[in-house]
Structure 1
Amino acid sequence: MAFPFINSIISWFLKKRKHQIELFLKYPMDVQEELLLKLLNSAKNTEFGTNCNFSSIESYKEFAKNVPIQQYESIEPLIERCRKGEQNLFWASDIRWFAKSSGTTNAKSKFIPVSDEALEYCHMKAGKDMLCLYINNNEETKMFTGKGLKLGGSTTIYEDNNSYFGDLSAIITENLPFWADFSSAPSQEVSLMAEWETKMEAIINETINENITSLVGVPSWMLVLLNRVLEKTGKDNILEVWPNLEVYFHGGVNFNPYRKQYKKLIPKKDFKYYETYNASEGFFALQDRNNSKELLLMLDYGIFYEFIPMDEYDGENSEAIPLSEVKKDINYAILITTNGGLWRYLIGDTVKFTDLNPYRIKITGRTKHHINVFGEELIIENAEEGLRLACEKTNATISDYTVGPIFMEDKKSGSHEWIIEFNQAPENLDYFIELLDNALKSINSDYEAKRYNNMTLALPKIHQARKGLFYDWLKQKNKLGGQHKVPRLSNSRAFVEELLKL
């Protein structure tokens, strides 16, 4: 039983960390300003630091003036040189690891630099904090009497010119401390399997007789795994397989469309769900309270934050504001400067602040994943809430979905075309469409205005997808498992057309 040993380590770490967390809760601006100057000082002699005159920067104002806002395309030439072995380009310590991004929207992969500092003081630190915050809120936990089932992406690591790349989960697995393996499943051998479906079977075979007490992974893929566990064991719910299961740490996609299905699979009143917010570029926020839908922005992971109001967003030409100037309930694009050598980098995510003392956020979507073909400004947050309300009233549950525009033609209005794969379909699809449309009108005034008398936007069109459509689509693109996600909203018809052909 691993419990006493690991629990004592984590209890010690928790006491140590509590003071540091309290520090950034109490003095958020001081912690962020000090961090920015530290990052600038660390990289002042790099090629990027010299070009942007880091050594002369003494304030945020000067930083914003000297350093341009960047997207991946702007820094790709430097990253490619680093991958070929050049160092001291944008970060002082040597960078050997690169997290290969797994977005479904770009045919071309991104290689995000992962420094030793980013690994230790951001990603690893966040993993420990996740456990610490959970233990702090649930002192009676028996999580460490069993194992945590971690469902990562492909854990194959590739070598190129003495540098290494792979999924972020692969890089973290390669660099985990020795004791982390005691409390995790599956084994390293199974984790390292490259082929997703074979790996899924191996995970099930290896874990169905283990005492699994926690789950970690992306909701859409974890759902596939849990349903296969039930198929394999013939049980009615997951607690019949793993009776001591007590918490699921999830992130990567919005959990709301999956919540009802998880409650059915894990019928336990006091079962806990803990959300995390991380990406290849860094670990940003953690749920720090039981039963909360807000995430605490972690300010001491070596990441300096800036924000761009989405109604003023213009990519690299945008004007950003520091954390001290944000307001509640405004949709912001996130800009990060990190201890991995990313400087004023747009990660493509959008958030809203739900609280300013301490700084808590909720994820609202992506800067590129929205529909604004007709001025309707539909974001992922709107779509998810509209679906939730329509599902609630029709007793439907959803596995996956995507939405694209139907462009105006001749005198015909435009519309939105939805492809939805239901786990449990509504009895009357027309009624579901009506409910979804009304919900979107009530949530989004721009959408409501464009729907007025069907002048610009007609009623949404919904295709009920066959079972496994999105799975087959991702498989065709070699994007099964881990962090791979279905793009939800797009201003283009590309995804909708591909799915309709399938």
Structure 2
Amino acid sequence: MKSIKALLAKPFAKYIQRKVSKWANNPVQTQEKVFQKLIKDAAHTAFGKDHDFGNIHSHADFAKRVPIRDYEALRPYVDKVVAGEKDILWKGQPLYFAKTSGTTSGAKYIPITKESMPTHVEAARNAILLYIAETGNTDFVDGKMIFLQGSPELQEKNGVKLGRLSGIVAHYVPGYLQKNRMPSWETNCIEDWETKVEAIVNETLHEKMAIISGIPSWVQMYFERIEARTGKKVGEVFPHFKLFIYGGVNFEPYCNKFENLIGRKVDSIELYPASEGFFAFQDKQDDKGMLLQLNAGIFYEFIKAEEFFDENPTRITIKDVEIGVNYVMIISSNAGLWAYNIGDTIEFTSTKPYKVIVSGRIKHFISAFGEHVIGKEVEQALHDALQQSGASINEFTVAPQINPEKGLPYHEWFIEFEKEPSDLEKFAEIIDVSLQQQNSYYFDLIDGKILQRLRITKIEKDGFQNYMKSIGKLGGQNKIPRLSNDRKIAELLTKHKKA
């Protein structure tokens, strides 16, 4: 017998699907409306006055007056907001600061406002509702759900609450889901990640888990602990587990490992949330592209990644993007971020409606020799090798080896295998050929005998976890960069080389 909640879920899901379709089918008008409202609402802020918002009527006006900034460039304004000043980047003061660890800036304080907070919550809710509308599956609605996240405990800074984004969002779980939600508040507040995962296993082991959500690498850790504790596959321990929701990294490299840990296939939904906004979510099971949130208080601009470091790169809006081009995504939002570079690169997979995949980070690439290899390319190459070899991995990263002891330079792949390929040389060759097919610069360097074929360095079991622990970044929202243009990570990982 289905509960009232499960019975009501279907009509509500259809209603939300119609609402989403309305703006998704009118993308240019939707974005223009968002743009005009943002400019109008922020005209009287310090930033709005400094950039003459009163005379901005079009995207061309905006691009002339508002330069692209990253966090460091926007920092003089953010520092005033953090100090408690009002009407700086947005009306009044923010509700929260999402604290993130920047690579160059130390701690970053990303404002979340009264207007921007609901968009984070709605997008997460809509992702699940559109899944229900598509599949008709409501079995999971009455089961327990878990999101592996940061601590919901918040601090305060000059009257504004401060915490990790996932911890802030934990305060907004709708009332009708509170009974289903796990782990307990106390467990969620545990800071040490390994202790926290053990506590989550203790709490969830005998529950009717239906939805499990989090960054794949940390969910994997949770699954491994369950298997170690019970000697059973996760799908057997949780027979009602039907839906895996994830974000933060590409799931493909983890796919084989997850299927093995679960013991069966489960549906999955990919999300694209960040402290700066909830940008997209997967709305169709047979389509990897994620629906770009055009109606969520965010105005998007795009710059071709290959032009990004030019002096005056061309800034385009949604109406001029092309499928398959690598773009840097620039956002302006009702959280008070203006022409802000979040650091991600994306590609459009569709323009009817507008759907994206995350292709990497503008700073995470290898171009030590002019090859400009990006995250999407290494993930695709690895996927090809895993498919053809039946191997599976736990984690990987890639760095250039510029000064080898002998021979030509090469790309060094650090891989922690779950199941090793029977022929490691052949495995490396498949990756290399795939990379050459995807990236003509890399092909030219191999063909011209400037680079030799990539090499694989095997990392011991839990080597990546131990590396993350050694730099104080185990758990939460922390992720291993797929690519580095230097050897900083590589040097530390070498300590965890498999003998």
- TM-score scaled by structure 2? 0.95
Amino acid at match of 2:457: H
1:152 — aligned with what?
149
2:253 — aligned with what?
257
1:495 — aligned with what?
489
1:59 — aligned with what?
58
**Aligned equivalents of 1:425, 1:317: Cα separation in 2:** 47
Counting only pairs closer than 5 Å after superposition, residues 29-40 of structure 1 correspond to structure 2 as 29-40=28-39
User: Which deviations, in whole Å up to 9, do the C-alpha atoms of 1:2-33 show, x marking residues without a partner?
Assistant: 9423652x456435433431221221100100
Query: 3-state DSSP class of the match of 1:226?
Result: helix
Amino acid at match of 2:461: K
**Aligned equivalents of 2:159, 2:54: Cα separation in 1:** 31
Gaps of 5+ in 2: none
**Aligned equivalents of 1:2, 1:198: Cα separation in 2:** 36
Query: 3-state DSSP class of the match of 1:278?
Result: strand
Amino acid at match of 1:305: Y
Query: 3-state DSSP class of the match of 1:362?
Result: strand
Amino acid at match of 1:211: K
1:438 — aligned with what?
433
Residues 331, 337 of structure 2: 8 Å contact kept:
yes
1:421 — aligned with what?
416
**Aligned equivalents of 1:410, 1:168: Cα separation in 2:** 45
How far does residue 73 in structure 1 lie from its aligned partner after superposition?
A: 0.3
Amino acid at match of 1:483: Q
Gaps of 5+ in 1: none
1:293 aligns with 2:293: no
Residues 93, 115 of structure 1: 8 Å contact kept:
no
Of 264, 271, 279, the residue aligned with 1:268 is 264
Of 226, 244, 247, the residue aligned with 2:243 is 247
- Shift of the 180–392 alpha-carbon distance from structure 1 to 2, 3 Å rule, reads same
1:475 aligns with 2:472: no
Query: 3-state DSSP class of the match of 1:109?
Result: strand
User: Which deviations, in whole Å up to 9, do the C-alpha atoms of 1:164-195 show, x marking residues without a partner?
Assistant: 22210011112334333122111222112222
User: Which deviations, in whole Å up to 9, do the C-alpha atoms of 1:113-168 show, x marking residues without a partner?
Assistant: 11121111x10111110121111012132111211121112333222222222210
User: Which deviations, in whole Å up to 9, do the C-alpha atoms of 1:80-124 show, x marking residues without a partner?
Assistant: 221121111000132141111246x4571221111121111x101
How far does residue 393 in structure 1 lie from its aligned partner after superposition?
A: 2.3
How far does residue 327 in structure 1 lie from its aligned partner after superposition?
A: 0.6
- Shift of the 299–107 alpha-carbon distance from structure 1 to 2, 3 Å rule, reads closer
2:139 — aligned with what?
142
Query: 3-state DSSP class of the match of 2:107?
Result: coil
Residues 2, 146 of structure 1: 8 Å contact kept:
no
Query: 3-state DSSP class of the match of 1:117?
Result: coil
1:357 aligns with 2:352: yes
Residues 71, 346 of structure 1: 8 Å contact kept:
yes
Residues 2, 183 of structure 1: 8 Å contact kept:
no
2:203 — aligned with what?
206
Residues 327, 353 of structure 1: 8 Å contact kept:
yes
**Aligned equivalents of 2:6, 2:166: Cα separation in 1:** 22
Counting only pairs closer than 5 Å after superposition, residues 194-343 of structure 1 correspond to structure 2 as 194-235=191-232, 237-269=233-265, 271-314=266-309, 317-343=312-338
**Aligned equivalents of 2:2, 2:115: Cα separation in 1:** 29
How far does residue 197 in structure 1 lie from its aligned partner after superposition?
A: 1.3
Moved beyond 4 Å, runs of 4+: 10-13, 408-412
2:166 — aligned with what?
169
Greater CA drift, 181-190 or 31-40: 181-190
1:389 aligns with 2:384: yes
How far does residue 302 in structure 1 lie from its aligned partner after superposition?
A: 0.8
2:361 — aligned with what?
366
Query: 3-state DSSP class of the match of 2:294?
Result: coil
**Aligned equivalents of 2:385, 2:140: Cα separation in 1:** 36
**Aligned equivalents of 1:156, 1:474: Cα separation in 2:** 23
CA RMSD of aligned residues (A): 2.0
**Aligned equivalents of 2:52, 2:63: Cα separation in 1:** 12
1:348 aligns with 2:361: no
Residues 7, 144 of structure 1: 8 Å contact kept:
no
- Shift of the 315–157 alpha-carbon distance from structure 1 to 2, 3 Å rule, reads farther
User: Which deviations, in whole Å up to 9, do the C-alpha atoms of 1:472-498 show, x marking residues without a partner?
Assistant: 111122211121000111111111112
Residues 404, 418 of structure 1: 8 Å contact kept:
yes
Query: 3-state DSSP class of the match of 1:193?
Result: coil
Of 177, 181, 201, the residue aligned with 2:178 is 181
How far does residue 298 in structure 1 lie from its aligned partner after superposition?
A: 1.5
Amino acid at match of 1:283: F
Aligned-residue identity in percent = 38
**Aligned equivalents of 2:18, 2:453: Cα separation in 1:** 54
**Aligned equivalents of 2:281, 2:7: Cα separation in 1:** 20
Query: 3-state DSSP class of the match of 1:249?
Result: strand
How far does residue 261 in structure 1 lie from its aligned partner after superposition?
A: 1.4
How far does residue 294 in structure 1 lie from its aligned partner after superposition?
A: 1.3
1:5 — aligned with what?
5
**Aligned equivalents of 1:350, 1:286: Cα separation in 2:** 16
Counting only pairs closer than 5 Å after superposition, residues 122-133 of structure 1 correspond to structure 2 as 122-133=119-130
- Shift of the 145–153 alpha-carbon distance from structure 1 to 2, 3 Å rule, reads same
1:466 — aligned with what?
460
- Shift of the 107–85 alpha-carbon distance from structure 1 to 2, 3 Å rule, reads closer
Query: 3-state DSSP class of the match of 1:305?
Result: strand
How far does residue 461 in structure 1 lie from its aligned partner after superposition?
A: 2.1
